[in-house]
Amino acid sequence: MKNSTLITRIALTSFISLFLASCGETAKKQAIHKTEITSTKTISQLEANKTDSLTKEYVKLFKELQSFKRSNDFIKNGLNSDSKYKDWFKKVSELSNGSNSGILKKKNLLADNLLELANIYNESKGYETEYSDFITNKIIEALEYSE
Protein backbone atom coordinates (compact mmCIF):
# COMPACT_ATOMS: atom_id res chain seq x y z
CA MET A 1 0.00 0.00 0.00
CA LYS A 2 2.75 2.44 0.89
CA ASN A 3 4.52 1.90 -2.45
CA SER A 4 1.38 2.59 -4.47
CA THR A 5 0.73 5.75 -2.46
CA LEU A 6 4.29 6.89 -3.03
CA ILE A 7 4.04 6.15 -6.76
CA THR A 8 0.73 8.02 -6.94
CA ARG A 9 2.26 11.03 -5.18
CA ILE A 10 5.28 11.02 -7.50
CA ALA A 11 3.03 10.77 -10.55
CA LEU A 12 0.79 13.54 -9.26
CA THR A 13 3.77 15.76 -8.46
CA SER A 14 5.21 15.16 -11.93
CA PHE A 15 1.87 15.98 -13.54
CA ILE A 16 1.52 19.19 -11.54
CA SER A 17 5.10 20.21 -12.39
CA LEU A 18 4.53 19.64 -16.09
CA PHE A 19 1.22 21.49 -15.94
CA LEU A 20 2.79 24.49 -14.20
CA ALA A 21 5.70 24.49 -16.65
CA SER A 22 3.31 24.52 -19.60
CA CYS A 23 1.32 27.35 -18.02
CA GLY A 24 4.55 29.28 -17.63
CA GLU A 25 5.38 28.82 -21.31
CA THR A 26 1.90 29.99 -22.30
CA ALA A 27 2.21 33.06 -20.09
CA LYS A 28 5.67 33.75 -21.51
CA LYS A 29 4.38 33.48 -25.09
CA GLN A 30 1.48 35.81 -24.25
CA ALA A 31 3.87 38.32 -22.70
CA ILE A 32 6.12 38.20 -25.77
CA HIS A 33 3.13 38.69 -28.07
CA LYS A 34 1.96 41.63 -25.94
CA THR A 35 5.45 43.16 -26.14
CA GLU A 36 5.44 42.84 -29.94
CA ILE A 37 2.05 44.56 -30.23
CA THR A 38 3.03 47.31 -27.80
CA SER A 39 6.31 48.07 -29.56
CA THR A 40 4.58 48.16 -32.97
CA LYS A 41 1.96 50.63 -31.69
CA THR A 42 4.60 52.75 -29.97
CA ILE A 43 6.76 52.91 -33.08
CA SER A 44 3.78 53.93 -35.23
CA GLN A 45 2.92 56.70 -32.78
CA LEU A 46 6.51 57.92 -32.66
CA GLU A 47 6.80 57.82 -36.43
CA ALA A 48 3.86 60.19 -36.79
CA ASN A 49 5.69 62.76 -34.64
CA LYS A 50 9.05 62.67 -36.43
CA THR A 51 9.74 65.25 -39.08
CA ASP A 52 13.41 64.93 -39.99
CA SER A 53 14.22 62.56 -42.83
CA LEU A 54 16.99 60.66 -41.02
CA THR A 55 14.79 59.74 -38.09
CA LYS A 56 11.98 58.78 -40.46
CA GLU A 57 14.38 56.54 -42.39
CA TYR A 58 15.51 54.91 -39.14
CA VAL A 59 11.90 54.25 -38.11
CA LYS A 60 11.10 52.93 -41.59
CA LEU A 61 13.98 50.45 -41.40
CA PHE A 62 12.92 49.38 -37.91
CA LYS A 63 9.36 48.75 -39.12
CA GLU A 64 10.63 46.83 -42.15
CA LEU A 65 12.64 44.58 -39.85
CA GLN A 66 9.52 43.94 -37.77
CA SER A 67 7.61 43.00 -40.92
CA PHE A 68 10.14 40.46 -42.25
CA LYS A 69 11.65 39.04 -39.05
CA ARG A 70 9.61 35.81 -39.31
CA SER A 71 9.79 35.35 -43.05
CA ASN A 72 11.21 32.07 -44.30
CA ASP A 73 13.83 33.78 -46.45
CA PHE A 74 15.11 35.84 -43.52
CA ILE A 75 15.19 32.85 -41.19
CA LYS A 76 17.02 30.78 -43.81
CA ASN A 77 19.41 33.39 -45.27
CA GLY A 78 19.55 36.19 -42.72
CA LEU A 79 21.05 39.28 -44.32
CA ASN A 80 23.63 37.58 -46.53
CA SER A 81 24.00 38.15 -50.27
CA ASP A 82 21.44 35.42 -51.06
CA SER A 83 18.75 37.09 -48.99
CA LYS A 84 16.10 39.34 -50.43
CA TYR A 85 16.76 41.56 -47.40
CA LYS A 86 20.32 42.41 -48.45
CA ASP A 87 19.07 45.84 -49.58
CA TRP A 88 17.73 46.46 -46.06
CA PHE A 89 21.17 45.58 -44.72
CA LYS A 90 22.78 47.96 -47.21
CA LYS A 91 20.49 50.83 -46.16
CA VAL A 92 21.21 50.26 -42.47
CA SER A 93 24.94 50.09 -43.19
CA GLU A 94 24.71 53.39 -45.05
CA LEU A 95 23.02 54.94 -42.02
CA SER A 96 25.79 53.58 -39.83
CA ASN A 97 28.70 54.64 -42.00
CA GLY A 98 27.25 57.53 -44.00
CA SER A 99 27.96 61.20 -43.62
CA ASN A 100 24.86 61.64 -41.44
CA SER A 101 25.70 58.87 -38.99
CA GLY A 102 26.92 61.42 -36.44
CA ILE A 103 23.52 63.11 -36.38
CA LEU A 104 21.81 59.81 -35.61
CA LYS A 105 24.42 58.93 -32.97
CA LYS A 106 23.74 62.23 -31.18
CA LYS A 107 20.10 61.11 -30.96
CA ASN A 108 21.17 57.62 -29.75
CA LEU A 109 19.62 56.16 -32.89
CA LEU A 110 22.32 53.62 -33.60
CA ALA A 111 22.14 51.67 -36.82
CA ASP A 112 24.12 48.97 -35.04
CA ASN A 113 21.08 48.41 -32.81
CA LEU A 114 19.03 47.59 -35.90
CA LEU A 115 21.70 45.15 -37.11
CA GLU A 116 21.96 43.56 -33.68
CA LEU A 117 18.20 43.18 -33.53
CA ALA A 118 18.19 41.58 -36.98
CA ASN A 119 20.82 39.07 -35.84
CA ILE A 120 18.83 38.24 -32.72
CA TYR A 121 15.67 37.71 -34.76
CA ASN A 122 17.54 35.52 -37.21
CA GLU A 123 18.88 33.34 -34.39
CA SER A 124 15.47 33.14 -32.64
CA LYS A 125 13.57 32.42 -35.88
CA GLY A 126 11.90 35.83 -35.65
CA TYR A 127 10.63 35.55 -32.11
CA GLU A 128 11.21 38.01 -29.31
CA THR A 129 13.79 37.21 -26.68
CA GLU A 130 14.75 39.07 -23.54
CA TYR A 131 17.65 40.59 -25.45
CA SER A 132 15.56 41.63 -28.47
CA ASP A 133 13.09 43.19 -26.05
CA PHE A 134 15.99 45.10 -24.44
CA ILE A 135 17.26 46.38 -27.82
CA THR A 136 13.74 47.29 -28.96
CA ASN A 137 13.20 49.28 -25.77
CA LYS A 138 16.51 51.09 -26.34
CA ILE A 139 15.36 52.04 -29.83
CA ILE A 140 11.95 53.20 -28.62
CA GLU A 141 13.50 55.21 -25.80
CA ALA A 142 15.91 56.91 -28.21
CA LEU A 143 13.03 57.73 -30.55
CA GLU A 144 10.96 59.15 -27.70
CA TYR A 145 13.74 61.51 -26.66
CA SER A 146 15.11 62.45 -30.06
CA GLU A 147 14.27 65.90 -31.35
Contacts of 132 (CB under 8 A, 6+ apart): 117, 120, 121, 124
Asked whether the beta carbons of 143 and 59 are under 8 A apart, the reply is: yes
Reference 55, options 121, 120, 118, 108; nearest CA is 108
pLDDT at residue 45, rounded to an integer: 56
pLDDT at residue 96, rounded to an integer: 87
Which residues of the chain, if any, have pLDDT below 50? 1-3, 6, 11-15, 28
CA distances for 89 relative to 31, 43, 81, 115, angstroms: 29, 20, 10, 8
CA distances for 67 relative to 31, 34, 61, 63, angstroms: 19, 16, 10, 6
Asked whether the beta carbons of 24 and 50 are under 8 A apart, the reply is: no
CA distances for 128 relative to 20, 21, 33, 124, angstroms: 22, 19, 8, 7
Query: 3-state DSSP call for residue 90?
Result: helix
Asked whether the beta carbons of 46 and 143 are under 8 A apart, the reply is: yes
Dump pLDDT digits (tens) for 96-130.
888 878 888 888 999 999 999 999 999 999 999 99
pLDDT at residue 6, rounded to an integer: 46
